[in-house]
Structures are given as structure tokens and as C-alpha cells.
A and B are shown apart, each in its own frame.
Chain A
């Protein structure tokens, strides 16, 4: 696959340091392992799209977002909206990694009276910014946030992560038209382009291609990148952040199930998944977890 940066501003503001990249790679690994463990304990959940988005989420929370656990009520904080709400386990894991919630509590995914519901709920966890789970709505909420910030003269930015199947919702394109019309250059849409959705490949269910051309026609700044390449993700965020006059979209090519050998590119690992102990152990091992880490994550 030839990955080329397209029309997002070509001037990277800062170079990313090697130390930061190492930290983010570790954070992404943590997100994957924690998600597998929480889905194992829950007895249900969506692992595939959690794995594909882990690197993007690590880069957002570990580097890009101007958002800290003590600033979640700051009107000028950057916002992140997980529009593909079924990847909640990955969001909770990255939140745990960066101090927004407790890692052990977040293993109580989908349990009765746990704030870590199957889909993010802003009344349970204020730092998730809004409630999602119905595909296509998060991006509209993000558009509203970007408008609201601009109207109030605030310089904060809004990021939202969408699934590729999610792009089939007409609402996404209503939001895109609106964002471009209003010149929301404080909005950055990221697409987890893992080529699979619930039942099958996008190309079988409802074709998305030519995808970049669609966004170009909607007048977005576009970058097409490898969504598992941390330096490239960081560089692209920097470029998006200095794009002026129009919103940005990052089409991140990813692998559904990334990091778990038996899961990669297999549609049935999308959701409604109940891991056996063996599957959970194999997944964690595939992700490089040590024996003691596996025990710690699975025997709580």
C-alpha cells in the first residue's frame, strides 16, 4: 500500500521525540491488553475495532489532546468524541493509562452498576465528553462542539474517531457538509479504516470507495496514513492542527484485530464476542503480555 499525505498542510509544527513514540507504543499495547481483559471479564464486547484503534487513541491521549485529568471541565480543553462507541473498552483503557479513570475499575466493563458501560455514557464518566453507541451521532456532536468553541472564541480543538462502516450513515455526510460549510478548522475527523464492519467487509456490505475522493468533494483537508504508525499519526495531527479554513479528515488505514494474530482481518471478531479463558490468554500472549501480566489482568 502506498500511503501518501494529501492536502493537509505540509508544515509539521514539532518533530516528535523518540522517547514519546516509545511511550505511546507502550500505551497502545496497554490499551490492547486491557481491552482484551475487560471484554473477557464482561463476557461480551467488541474486540476487533478496539485493537484497530489503539494506536490512534494512544497518540490522542498521550500526545495530541490538550486534555488532562484535572482539566476535564476546562472550557478550553480539547475534546475527543468516540463516535464508534462500541470501541468503549479501548477508550476506557486509554483513559486509565492517562489518569482519567482507574485501570482496575475499568476491568468491570459492562457489569451491573459499573460506570464502564458497553458504550460510553457521559453521565457515568464525564471525561468521555458525550454518550455514543448509535453510529453516526458522535460526529454530529463533535461538529456542534467545534461550532460552539468557535462561537465563543475558544481555540480548543475537537477530535472524533469513526468506524469505516459508520460512514454508511447518512448523518456522517450531513455532518461533513456542515463542518465544511462552517469552516470548522478546529475539527479533526479520524477514520479507523479497518475495511471490516459488523457482518463482513465494507466492500461486501456497502462500498465506501473512492473514499478520499468523497472527503475531497466535501472540501476537507485530507491525509491518508498508516493508522498503526505512531510517528506518522503524530505528524499528521500536527499538520491537521495548522490547517486553516476547513476541517480535516485523517483516513487511517488499520487492521481490525491488530496485534492479536488469530483475530486480524476476521469479521467475526467484530462483536458479541465471549472469550474463553484460552482465547483471552492467547490474545494477551500475542500482544506480548508476560505470564505475570496475564495473571494480573485475568485473575482479578
Chain B
């Protein structure tokens, strides 16, 4: 057992944290996160130059990382600084393009922005329910249907799309964003997403049997979100602790009230639990326990991120309800992470499924 990060990952986290501290003050973060294009294209390129995108892909695919702990390191650092850049869409695209054997160089260098269009209005989380279809047209494949809440979709130049080939097997397609009808919008916690309307949109098939690749990409995305939440929870906790020590009412710091002290201690314990389950999930990536441990992590983190967000606001009092005070933006991100790639209930169902399988023996793991 060794819980120390490798030297490379420690350096990556430090470099990235330093960059984010210098380049994404909360004022700058909010100004880019909440107005078009809902991120900072110049700084996105700078982040790519730092190697942040390369850290998401395995060496065999042209990257310099790609393991669970690489992804967790990057996203935890992004989360601690509340970075609004569309890394989630990039990570999903990296996994899908790599599975399809595509060239990742334009994505990893930051030259071309990709987003992955998987979820649909009736199939928000479960790829098995995907209804978008591809059919052979006169000049090759064309796509029909609607993809919903595509993260980073408003600022992407290319899309990786999951759809059924001739209504059958799930396959992956690559599409130029300019060939689809895209309605982008800002998100309540910053950053952008888009509705993607496919109406005879020309598409290149990149992977004919994509069920396993999709699950793998979604697992990695969920792991990234857990790590992002852990980073954001750490910052939130530090912010709240500082406020409890400095805000005075009734002639003393509010942190001297036991009613708040105990809750602050509970939060601290729960954040450690969230960190632990995320470490467990990161360590199980690539094993046959990957999907189930990721679901465990996403469930626990979803519950705790909401708790931390609500207590962050409540224990601050009115000030954390304001736009001007950074805690409000951390609270929004922490709550809304549960709406991405499967919420607490969705992932709890997947954890439950193993217990509820008919004929489960007493010692089944």
C-alpha cells in the first residue's frame, strides 16, 4: 500500500494548480464561465500546452497518462479551482476516439475541441436506451435524432456521437459540429452544454460495436467528476473553516458554537470518505471492478457533495447566497455534478443490482 502520488503526478498537480491560481481568479472564472462562449479559448490552449490534455490519454494513444490516478489528479486540481473549461467532453472524446483507434493528436494539442454526444432526453444516463440512428445515405452514413446536454457541445468543433447503425448495434460516429444544428447554452454552475439536432447529418463511422467503449468512457467521466468534486469540496471546506473562525456574532466567532462545530467535523469526515472512495475507483480502473466501484464512488460523492454544498451555504449564512461571494459558485458546481453522467440514484441502482441478482450465493463478492 502506498497512498503517495507519483513524482510525475505531484508535479502535474502543482503546475496545474499554480497556473489556475494565476489565470483563473474567481472574477475571471465567473466572467468566462457565465458568458459566451462559456469558457476561455485562449487559456484552453495554454492548458493544453501545459500537457493537461495529454495527461488524460495513455502513452499508447499518444498521451502521457490516461490511468485512473492521472485523470483523478487533473480533475481534482481543476475542481479545487472551479475551472470551467470543457475538460469532461474532452476526456470522454479521448476515451472514445482511442477505442476507435483514431488519431488523438489534434485533440491533445488543444488544436481541435471535441465533445462527446451520448445522452438523450429520454436516455439521460443509460447508453442502452440510446435512440439516435444512423442510416446509409447516397454519400455515406447520415444521422438522425437529438442528443441532449452535450457537455462542451457549444464550443466544440467536432463531435463523437453514439448512435445505432441501421437501428441496431450501438456505434460511434464522428461529425463536424458545423454539419449539425447545435443550440448551445450556459450552465447554471458555469461552462456550456448543447442540444445537438441530427437531421440527415453526414457522419463517419469510427467504431461499429461501441457498447463496451461507451461504458468505459462513461466510467472514466464519472471518475473524473468524483475527483473534481473532491477538489471542490476541499476548497469549500477551507473557505467555510476560515469563515467560521473570522465571522463574529454575539461577540464571538461563530465557529465557537458547538451546533456548528459538530457539523463542520462531520463534513470533514465525509470529505475524507469521498476522497477514499474516489481513490478506490481510480485504482480499479482497467479491472473488472471498474464499473461497480465507479458507481459506488459516484453515489457517495453525489450525496456528500450535496451535503457539503448545503452546509457551506447554511453555515455561512446569507453571504454564501450572493453571487459575489465565491462559495455560492462552489456550492452550485458541487450540487450539479450529481446531474452529470448518472446521479446518486442511477449509480445506487447499479450497485444494488449485484445484490439483487437472482441466485446470488452467500459468499458472492
A and B associate? no
